[in-house]
Structure 1
Amino acid sequence: MTKPTVVVLGAAGAQASGLLRGFGRTETDLELVLCDRAWRDDAPLEVGTQQVHRVLFDLLSEPDKLREILTGADLVVNLTGPYYTLGPIILDAAIEAGTNYLDICDDADATELLLQRDQAAKAAGVTALIGMGSAPGTTNVLVRLALDALPAGDASASITWCVDAKDMVGAVVPHFAHSFSTAVPEFGGTPGWELLAPERVSFPEPVGEQLVVTLSHPEVLTLPRFTRVTTAHNKGGLIPEDFTHLGWSVSRLPHGPNRTAAMHTIFEAALAGHSEREPVGSGLIVDVRVGSDGISFLSGGQMSQDDATGTPAAAGSLVALQGKVPGPGVVSPEVLEPADFFTALREVSAGGGGMTAYRTRDGEIVEHVRIRDLLTLDAVAR
């Protein structure tokens, strides 16, 4: 049997490392074409026994080579950033090449641009699964899982997260600033601090109470498009909270050729001042309600953002290669069958994660429920 060919763009980056480790754990044989504009000769590749080809090229300056590499591939995984610049360019190339597509896009405005390619993707027979990381990604599937276990009717979804500032590397820095500048679209720029509705939220230990604010995120757009969620909210923050304030501040820097470099310099200087601090980890709360009934998912732990984002992307890639992503067209992770996703996630995951689930009534916890049992209910309902 011919091995599926998976092209990974941005393969030398931090998020790709988690994806590749996930691919290294699966028993599915893959041919990986790993592309980046810069490779460190001494950089190890943790891909298990998967077949690997490294390709050095700049996708912006060599568009013909991009189309050549994508043609004939079974899937392209786009891990380049920022998505509000590169996402539409690469999806357009995938549609032209007739290659299925997956990314971890977490910019709301970029998500709108990608969704605009839906008809073109359908015409080309291409299925594009966008936002298949942690948040968005796993968050969307959890909302779908809750909806499948809750009564009929309009639903609301609230997604709250925090990550350690030590994970702020590479394209993550300008992305975080961009999330502030697009948090309140009607404002037309970075809103004042109070308009971001800051609040303190208690995450499971060891994360504890953290500051979160309104940030733009794709789930707010996609959940109402693909599910019965009518109201969706997203809030997030960094640990320690000084870095949340810092993200808001750098988002107000004037636009210009040196803006991104200035952001990195500021964040790196701040991180240096916290070099002795032990990382706390990350936290996530996904709360879904239909009337007074609800299901909440909570997690808190030490998993790095490389794995937290890259591992779900690896799982989504397996689901895509199995032909289990509804398509063609441009879709978001909430269209996946939760059982398909979690089966693939177990295959590519190193374990851990610490996710717990609860049934709620009027926002108060009623009882603990196992995710396995929710998946069983979902399977019976189908």
Structure 2
Amino acid sequence: MAARSRWRKENSMKIVVLGGAGDMASRAVRELAAEPEVTSLTVADYNLEGASHLAAELGSRVRAVQVDANDHEALVATLRGHDAAASGIGPFYRYEARVARAAIEAGVPYVSLCDDYDAAQAVLALDAEARAAGVTVLTGLGWTPGLSNVLARKAAEQFDLVDEINVAWGSSASDSDGYAVILHTLHIFSGLVPSFQKGRLLSVPAGSGKEQILFPPPAGTITCYHLGHPEPVTLPRFLPGCRVRTVTLKGGLAEQPLNELAIWLARLRLTDTPAKKDVLG
């Protein structure tokens, strides 16, 4: 019994999930609450009512706190004292870098679902600051980016030379909901977005490069476009020795009218600033 108690103490973790009441992060909360090593789990969200309902559902190890990602000092205070922090606070183009900075200041290892390319670039720019503080920061550990990066790395390790990596995703508008999801969709269809081609990071128009891509059932064929995701920024940087010359990212919604609507809103310059996205969202 003494050995088991000592093992539990040494392997116990206090984790905070920021935006934990949201559509995506709440799933992470449920997974973490089922892990015996997680002895304390904080659901931190601006929506205190939603966070409280989730915490009450999951038991005594889970508590809810309110946090405003616009309040740096409050964010740092919420993070302090935890062994790790996970974030689903979006839209990431607005909040990812500021939340990562708060984690670095609090001295808490940080991981997020960030899927905006410019937010990923902003976090990569914090590398020296994070190293100096001894804090590990992982941005973009969802399904795309995240699993897409892991699969690309795994495949690349099977070859002596990798020249080209093409990432594609397709989803339905009904797969997830929330205000931040709408803003993210408007953002990735707007302006110029990164694409790594012939050894250089280029800017290409979002919504260009139209291509029909066949996905496994039940998705089927979805029309995909160059969109603003982080893979063309991160994969060339983190595939040492592969000398990859091209990394593209294309994505699209199964509901083609929504793809076309997002493209036309961007062409009309109705989504080219955060304020304009807020109005449409």
> What interval of TM-score do these two structures reach, taking the shorter chain for normalisation?
0.7 to 0.9
Residue matched to 2:263: 248
How big is the shift at 1:69?
A: 2.0
Q: Which runs of 5+ in 1 are unaligned?
A: 265-382
1:235 aligns to 2:250 (yes or no): yes
Q: Trace 1:268-347 onto structure 2 (pairs within 5 A).
A: none
How big is the shift at 1:122?
A: 0.6
How far apart in 1 are the matches of 2:185 and 2:225? 12
Residue matched to 1:207: 219
Amino acid at match of 1:58: D
How big is the shift at 1:171?
A: 0.5
Select the residue among 133, 147, 150 that pairs with 2:142.
133
After TM superposition, the score normalised by the length of structure 2 is 0.83
Alignment CA distance shift 1:258-1:113 (3 Å)? closer
Q: Which runs of 5+ in 2 are unaligned?
A: 1-8, 196-201
Query: Once the two structures are aligned, what percentage of the paired residues are identical?
Result: 33
How big is the shift at 1:192?
A: 7.7
1:259 aligns to 2:276 (yes or no): yes
Amino acid at match of 2:79: L
- Aligned partner of residue 53 in structure 2, secondary structure: coil
How far apart in 2 are the matches of 1:75 and 1:192? 35
Alignment CA distance shift 1:73-1:192 (3 Å)? closer
Select the residue among 165, 168, 173 that pairs with 1:160.
168
Select the residue among 59, 64, 69 that pairs with 2:73.
64
Residue matched to 1:223: 235
How big is the shift at 1:48?
A: 4.9
Amino acid at match of 1:259: K
Please give the root-mean-square deviation of Cα atoms over the aligned residues, in Å.
2.6
- Aligned partner of residue 38 in structure 2, secondary structure: coil
After TM superposition, the score normalised by the length of structure 1 is 0.62
How far apart in 2 are the matches of 1:4 and 1:86? 25
Question: Is the CA contact (8 Å cut-off) linking 2:191 and 2:272 kept in structure 1?
Answer: no
Residue matched to 1:118: 127
Amino acid at match of 1:205: P
Alignment CA distance shift 1:206-1:216 (3 Å)? same
Amino acid at match of 1:36: D
How far apart in 1 are the matches of 2:178 and 2:109? 28
How far apart in 1 are the matches of 2:272 and 2:191? 14
Amino acid at match of 2:253: L
CA offsets 1:189-220 (integer angstroms, 9 cap, x no match): 99485xx1111111112211111111121111
Residue matched to 1:377: none
Amino acid at match of 2:159: P
Select the residue among 200, 209, 222 that pairs with 1:197.
209
